[in-house]
Copies of this chain bind each other. A is one copy, B any other.
């Protein structure tokens, strides 16, 4: 009797293991399958939960977040180092090229302009955030600026393609970044080293600009550029604070970035 019970227990453990192995094999390399439950009882996996967090950041429904939710750090880390992230960014850039080719009647008088963000638009900060728990730790400005001052950020390849396309079409390229003035020479070195050169203006935040939010700073810059006679055909940025507010550009393109939020 005892032996039979042990055998049947062993059998059920074996079957349990087998079904776990099968379900893992069928589910494939999803990075999390822990179950959450929402208020209305809908059972959702951690993967669904983290994906909905990411999607709602991109939809600009989730704002002002300080850190990536701890339980989603693994998911977000996978995303920003995935092919999907590259393909998502590439598609955004392709749409900007389509717009440039079909909808921009450039006047070629030296006043046709395009604005780029720098971080996570031209240069990737993913190598930095990889060491910072992929956005799971609160921003440490000193450490981030130290990393930036090394000038080792790699280019986002698709953005470089767009940058060169702009140059070839005679657009004035204006770089508007929330990086602070003291990072100017490190930023220039970094940009040039990875292939960006030939911009018209590099605008960084001076002490006065630091007193206002980034969105206000960037709208002020646009106001000034328009005052100088520039037509801003478009902006590519990874933050809503780079593309929202008045005056607006004729079109804007938002690159994905679930790592941090700048307001």
Taking beta carbons and an 8 Å cutoff, which residues of A are in contact with B?
A: 25-30, 38, 40, 42, 44, 48-49, 51-53, 55-56, 58-62, 83-84, 86-88, 90-92, 95-96, 157-158, 161, 252-254, 256
Report whether B28 and A62 are in contact in the complex, using a CB–CB cutoff of 8 Å: no
**A235: min CB distance to chain B, Å:** 12
Report whether A52 and B161 are in contact in the complex, using a CB–CB cutoff of 8 Å: no
What does DSSP make chain A's interface, helix, strand, loop or mixed? helix
**A110: min CB distance to chain B, Å:** 28
Choose from B51, B56, B87, B252 the contact partner of A42 (Cβ within 8 Å): B87
Report whether A62 and B95 are in contact in the complex, using a CB–CB cutoff of 8 Å: yes
Name 15 A/B residue pairs within 8 A (Cβ), A-sorted.
A25-B28, A26-B28, A26-B29, A28-B30, A40-B157, A40-B161, A42-B83, A48-B87, A49-B87, A55-B58, A55-B91, A59-B253, A61-B92, A61-B254, A62-B95
Complex formed: what's the CA distance from A61 to B25 in Å? 36
Cβ–Cβ < 8 Å partners of A96 in chain B: 61
- Residue of A30, A62, A157 with most chain B CB atoms under a 10 A cut-off: A62
Complex formed: what's the CA distance from A27 to B25 in Å? 8
**A64: min CB distance to chain B, Å:** 10
Report whether A84 and B254 are in contact in the complex, using a CB–CB cutoff of 8 Å: no
